[in-house]
C-alpha cells in the first residue's frame, strides 16, 4: 500500500514537472514568436513605405544624380571625356582641281572644278592649359592633331591639284586698297622679273592641306616692302598650314562648368577674353552657344540650339529637325538651315554678298578674301554654283548636322561640313589678274565627323533606358514584399491573441 502511494506520488511529481517544463518552453516559444512577429511587422512597414516613396521620388532622384554627373568637375568621368575625347574624330578634306584655268583666263570659259578626295585624317583633340575659375567657368585651349588615314582616303597626298594662287589674290586686294598707279607698275615689273605670270598654281594635296609650300611671290612681297607697307600673314602657303599640333586655332575659350546651374554647362562665356564679338550685331554674337563638347540637359527638347565655331569666330544656330536612332539611342537631329549664311549680320564694309556665303574678313584681324559656305554652295543663292562648273549640292552629303541624345543632350553623331571659297576678280592694272572673272571660287571643303563608340552608347543606353524604367519596378516589388510581410504578421498577431492554452496546475 505504501509502495503504491509512493508510486502515485512519484508519477504526480513527474507529471507536474513535465507540465511546468512545457509551460516554460511554451513561454520561451511565445517570447521568441513575439519578437519574430514584431520584426516581421517592422520590416514590412519599412519595405512598404520605402518602396512607395522611392517609386514616387525615383525620377527626381535619378535626374539629380545625372545632373551631378553632367557637371564639369575635376577628376570626374565627364571631365575625363571632355578633356580627351574618347574616340577620334575623322576629318575628310575634298579639294577642287581647276581643270581649265587657261581657257577661263583667255576665252572666258566658266571654271571647271573636279572634286578630289576625300583625304581622310584622324583627328585628336586634347584640352590643355586648363584652369577652373571662381565664377563657375573653366578656361582652356585645345590641342588638335591630324594623322592621314590612307586606307580611308580616295587618293594620295601626292596628288597634283591646280587651284587659285591665294598669294597673288591677296596682293591684288592690298594693292587695290592703296590704289597708286606707280605701285602697280613696280609690282608688274617684279612679277615679270620673277617669271610669275599665272594666277594659279599646281601643288600636291599634302602641300595644299597641312604641309604648306614656299611661294616665289612671297619674295616679291619682301622686295616691295621698302616701297609700301604690305605684309602677308604667313611664311608658307597652305589652307590648314600651321594648325596641326597647334593650340592657336581655337583660341582661349572660357565656358561654364554647370556648377550651381546645370542649365549653362558647356556654354561659351568668352573667347580670348571677349564676351562678345564686337564686330557683329548683338543678335549675332555667340551668347548661349555651346563650345561643342557639352550641352545643357534640355537642349535636345528645344526648337533650336547654337554652337560656337572657332574657325569662323561666331556661332551658328541649328533647327530641331526630327528624331532618329544611333546605336539604339533616341536622338534629336539639329540641322543648319539657309539662315546661317543669310548675311543679315555678317556684312563687310564693301557690302553684303548674296545669301549663302559669309566673309571671314570680319574674323579678328583676318584680311584674307576667303568666304565660308556649305559644301557645293548647298542652300546658297543659285548664282554661286552657276558661275562655276562642278557644283552638285546634295542634302545628304553636304548638310551640317548634329544629333543630341533625347534626354540629356549628349552628342551622339556630328557631321560638321563647311566649304572655303576665294573671291577673285579682275584688276586691270595688275596684268596677272586682268582677265580673272569675278566669282567666288571654291577651293576645298571638309567634313568633321564623330559617332559615339558602341561601348559608350551601351553604357548610355543602360543609364537612359534601363535604370529610369526598371528601377521603379524594383521599388514596387519592395513595396509588395512589405505588404505581404504586413499581412502575414497581422495574421500571426490575430492568431496569437485568440490562442488559448490549458495547463494543468498540480497544486
Q: Would you give per-residue pLDDT tens digits along the chain (507 residues)?
A: 544 445 455 555 555 555 455 444 444 454 455 667 677 777 777 877 777 777 777 777 777 777 777 889 988 888 998 998 878 799 999 999 999 999 999 999 999 999 999 999 999 999 999 999 999 999 999 999 999 999 999 999 999 999 999 988 888 888 888 888 888 998 898 888 888 889 999 999 999 999 999 888 877 777 777 766 666 667 788 999 989 999 888 889 999 999 888 889 999 998 888 877 545 555 565 568 899 999 998 899 999 999 998 888 788 889 998 899 999 899 999 999 998 888 777 776 667 889 999 888 767 655 678 999 999 999 999 999 999 999 999 999 999 999 999 988 999 999 999 999 999 999 999 999 999 999 999 999 999 999 998 888 888 888 777 777 777 778 778 778 878 877 777 777 677 666 544 444 444
What is d(CA 82, CA 71) in angstroms, rounded to the nearest whole number?
Answer: 11
Q: Which of 252, 254, 217 is nearest to 237 (CA)?
A: 217
**Residue the block writes with cell 577674353:** 273
What is d(CA 346, CA 354) in angstroms, rounded to the nearest whole number?
Answer: 11
H or E segment at 487? Answer: helix 467-498
Task: Please spell the DSSP secondary structure of 224-274, one letter per residue.
Answer: HTTTS----S-SSB-TTTT-TTBSTTT--EEEE--TT-GGGTTBEEEETTB
What is d(CA 318, CA 193) in angstroms, rounded to the nearest whole number?
Answer: 51
Q: For residue 63, give the C-alpha cell.
A: 535626374
Collapse the DSSP code of 209 into the 3-class scheme (helix H, G, I; strand E, B; otherwise coil) and give the result.
helix
Strands 439-451 and 137-148: unpaired
What is d(CA 96, CA 435) in angstroms, rounded to the nearest whole number?
Answer: 21
Q: Calculate the alpha carbon distances from 458 to 137, 206, 449, 454, 462 in Å.
A: 30, 38, 20, 6, 6
What is d(CA 161, CA 208) in angstroms, rounded to the nearest whole number?
Answer: 8
What is d(CA 171, CA 224) in angstroms, rounded to the nearest whole number?
Answer: 11
Query: What is the DSSP code (8-state) at residue 84?
Result: B
Q: Calculate the alpha carbon distances from 189 to 42, 176, 181, 186, 232 in Å.
A: 101, 17, 13, 5, 20
* 287 close to 305: Cβ distance less than 8 angstroms: no
What is d(CA 371, CA 112) in angstroms, rounded to the nearest whole number?
Answer: 19
Q: Which of 440, 407, 406, 410 is nearest to 425 (CA)?
A: 440
Q: Which of 277, 256, 278, 281 is nearest to 266 (CA)?
A: 256
* 124 close to 85: Cβ distance less than 8 angstroms: yes
Strands (E), 311-385: 314-326, 329-336, 358-359, 370-373
Collapse the DSSP code of 60 into the 3-class scheme (helix H, G, I; strand E, B; otherwise coil) and give the result.
helix
Q: Which of 417, 335, 334 is nearest to 373 (CA)?
A: 417
Q: What secondary structure, in 3-state letters, does 149-198 show?
A: CHHHCCCCCCCEEEEECHHHHHHHHHHHHHCCHHHHHHHHHHHHHCCCCC
Q: Cis peptide before 129, with omega less than 30 degrees from 0?
A: no
Amino acid at each position: 500500500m505504501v509502495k503504491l502511494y509512493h508510486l502515485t506520488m512519484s508519477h504526480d511529481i513527474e507529471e507536474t514537472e513535465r507540465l511546468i517544463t512545457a509551460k516554460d518552453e511554451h513561454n520561451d516559444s511565445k517570447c521568441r514568436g513575439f519578437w519574430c512577429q514584431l520584426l516581421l511587422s517592422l520590416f514590412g512597414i519599412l519595405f512598404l513605405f520605402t518602396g512607395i516613396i522611392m517609386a514616387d521620388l525615383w525620377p527626381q532622384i535619378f535626374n539629380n544624380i545625372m545632373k551631378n554627373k553632367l557637371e564639369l568637375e575635376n577628376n570626374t568621368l565627364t571631365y575625363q571625356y571632355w578633356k580627351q575625347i574618347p574616340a577620334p574624330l575623322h576629318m575628310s578634306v575634298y579639294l577642287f582641281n581647276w581643270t581649265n584655268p587657261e581657257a577661263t583666263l583667255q576665252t572666258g570659259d566658266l571654271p571647271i572644278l573636279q572634286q578630289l578626295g576625300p583625304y581622310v585624317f584622324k583627328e585628336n583633340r586634347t584640352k590643355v592649359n586648363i584652369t577652373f575659375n571662381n565664377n563657375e567657368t573653366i578656361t582652356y585651349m585645345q590641342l588638335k592633331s591630324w594623322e592621314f588615314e590612307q586606307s580611308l582616303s580616295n587618293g594620295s597626298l601626292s596628288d597634283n591639284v591646280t587651284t587659285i594662287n591665294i598669294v597673288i589674290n591677296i596682293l591684288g586686294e592690298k594693292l587695290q586698297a592703296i590704289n597708286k598707279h606707280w605701285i602697280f607698275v613696280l609690282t608688274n615689273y617684279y612679277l615679270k622679273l620673277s617669271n610669275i605670270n599665272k594666277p594659279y598654281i599646281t601643288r600636291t594635296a599634302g602641300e595644299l592641306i597641312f604641309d604648306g609650300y614656299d611661294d616665289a611671290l612671297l619674295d616679291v612681297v619682301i622686295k616691295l616692302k621698302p616701297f609700301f607697307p604690305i605684309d602677308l600673314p604667313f611664311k608658307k602657303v597652305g589652307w590648314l598650314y600651321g594648325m596641326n599640333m597647334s593650340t592657336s586655332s581655337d583660341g582661349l575659350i572660357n565656358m561654364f562648368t554647370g556648377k550651381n546651374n546645370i542649365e549653362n554647362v558647356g556654354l561659351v562665356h568668352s573667347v580670348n577674353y571677349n564676351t562678345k564679338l564686337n564686330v557683329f550685331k548683338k543678335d549675332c554674337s555667340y551668347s548661349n552657344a555651346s563650345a561643342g563638347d557639352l550641352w545643357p540637359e534640355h537642349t535636345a527638347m528645344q526648337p533650336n540650339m547654337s554652337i560656337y565655331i572657332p574657325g569662323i569666330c561666331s556661332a551658328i544656330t541649328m533647327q530641331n529637325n526630327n528624331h532618329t536612332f544611333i546605336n539604339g539611342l533616341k536622338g534629336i537631329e539639329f540641322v543648319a538651315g539657309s539662315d546661317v549664311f543669310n548675311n543679315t549680320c555678317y556684312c563687310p564694309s564693301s557690302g553684303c554678298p548674296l545669301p549663302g556665303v559669309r566673309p571671314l574678313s570680319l574674323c579678328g584681324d583676318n584680311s584674307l578674301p576667303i568666304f565660308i559656305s556649305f559644301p557645293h554652295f548647298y542652300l546658297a543663292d543659285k548664282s554661286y554654283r552657276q558661275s562655276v562648273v562642278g557644283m552638285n549640292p546634295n542634302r545628304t552629303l553636304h548638310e551640317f548636322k548634329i544629333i543630341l541624345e533625347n534626354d540629356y543632350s549628349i552628342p551622339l553623331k556630328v557631321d560638321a561640313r563647311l566649304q572655303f571659297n576665294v573671291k577673285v576678280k579682275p584688276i586691270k592694272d595688275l596684268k596677272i589678274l586682268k582677265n580673272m572673272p569675278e566669282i567666288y571660287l571654291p577651293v576645298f571643303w571638309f567634313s568633321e565627323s564623330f559617332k559615339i563608340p558602341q561601348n559608350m552608347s551601351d553604357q548610355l543606353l543602360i543609364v537612359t533606358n534601363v535604370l529610369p524604367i526598371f528601377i521603379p519596378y524594383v521599388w514596387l516589388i519592395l513595396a509588395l514584399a512589405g505588404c505581404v510581410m504586413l499581412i502575414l504578421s497581422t495574421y500571426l498577431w490575430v492568431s496569437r491573441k485568440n490562442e488559448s492554452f490549458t495547463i494543468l496546475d498540480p497544486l
